[in-house]
Structure 1
Amino acid sequence: MSLHGKTFLVTGAGSGIGRAVARQLLREDARVVLVGRRATALRESAGAAADQQALVHPADIARPVEAAGAVRAALNRFGGLDGLVNNAGLARFGPLADADPNDLTAMLDVNLLAPVHLIRAALPALRAAGGSVVNVSSVGGVLAMPRRAVYGASKAALNSLTRSLARELAPRVRVNAVLPGPVDTPMYDDLGLAPQQVAQLRDDMVESTPLGRFGTPDDISSWVCRLLDPEAAGWVTGALIPVDGGRTS
Structure 2
Amino acid sequence: MKKTALITGGNSGIGYATATLLKKKGYSVVISGRHRDRVKRAAAEIGVEYILADMAKLDDIKRLSLPFQDEGLDVLINNAAIAKFIPLSRLSPSDYSFFFNTNIRGPLELIREVLPALEKRQGRITNISSIAVNRGLLNGSLYAATKGALEATTRSLALELAPKKIRVNAVAPGAIDTPLAAKTGRSKEELARRRTMLEQIIPLQRYGRAEEVAQVVWAQLEATYVTGSVWLVDGGANIL
TM-score, normalising length: structure 2? 0.93
User: Cα distance, 1:101 vs. partner?
Assistant: 3.4
* Contact persistence 1:20–1:218 (CA under 8 A): yes
Q: Output one character per residue of 1:33-55: Cα deviation in whole Å (capped at 9) or x when no partner.
A: 111112333233333664xxx32
- Given the alignment, which residue of 8, 11, 34 partners 1:11? 8
Give 2:200's match in structure 1, choosing from 194, 207, 222. Answer: 207
Matched, 1:112 2:109: no
Q: Which amino acid aligns with 2:12?
A: S
1:84-140 per-residue CA deviation (whole Å, 9 max, x = no partner) reads: 000011111132112343223212111111110110001111112111000010001
Q: Could you tell me whether the CA contact under 8 Å between 1:33 and 1:57 is conserved in 2?
A: yes
1:28 aligns with 2:9: no
1:112, 1:154 within 8 Å by CA — same for their partners in 2?
A: yes
Q: CA deviation at 1:210?
A: 1.2
| 1:64 matched to 2:58 | yes
Q: Distance in 2 between matches of 1:200 and 1:97?
A: 24
Contact 2:61 2:109 in 1 (8 A): yes
Amino acid of the residue matched to residue 13 of structure 1?
A: G
Gaps of 5+ in 2: none
**Equivalent position of 1:245 in the other structure:** 235
**Cα 1:48/1:97, change in 2 over 3 Å:** closer
* Counterpart in the other structure of 1:42: 39
Range 127-136 or range 41-50, more displaced: 41-50
Deviates more, 1:8-17 or 1:85-94: 85-94
Report the more deviating stretch, 191-200 or 109-118: 191-200
Query: What SS does the aligned partner of 2:154 have?
Result: helix
The residue aligned with 1:129 is 121
What amino acid is the match of 2:152? S
CA distance in 2, matches of 1:28, 1:228: 12
Deviates more, 1:79-88 or 1:186-195: 186-195
Given that residues 85 and 138 in structure 2 are in contact (C-alpha distance below 8 angstroms), is that contact kept between their aligned partners in structure 1? no
> Is 1:189 equivalent to 2:182 in the alignment?
yes
After superposition, the C-alpha distances for 1:192-233 in whole angstroms (9 at most, x for unaligned) are 22332222232333233111111100010011122223xxx1
Number of paired residues? 238
Question: Does the 8 A contact of 1:134 with 1:224 survive in 2?
Answer: yes
Cα distance in 2 for residues equivalent to 1:178 and 1:82: 18
Distance in 2 (alpha carbons) for counterparts of 1:48 and 1:198: 28
- Counterpart amino acid of residue 193 in structure 2: Q
Match of 1:8, SS state, is strand
- 2-side partners of 1:107 and 1:48: how far apart? 29
Q: Structure 1 pair 199/101, CA: closer, same or farther in 2 (3 Å)? A: farther
Are the aligned partners of 1:9 and 1:32 in contact in 2 as well (CA < 8 Å)? yes
- SS across alignment from 1:142: helix
Amino acid at match of 2:99: M
SS in 1 for 2:237: coil
The answer on 1:143 being equivalent to 2:135 is: yes
SS at match of 1:89: coil
Change (3 A) 1:48 1:190: closer
| Aligned 8 A contact 1:163 1:175 in 2 | yes
- Answer whether contact 2:155 2:169 (CA < 8 A) is retained: yes
Deviations 1:36-83 (A, max 9, x none): 112333233333664xxx32111111111211211113446xx22111
Identity over aligned residues, as a percent?
37
How far apart are the structure 1 equivalents of 2:79 and 2:191?
22
* Residue 172 of structure 2 corresponds to residue 179 of structure 1: yes
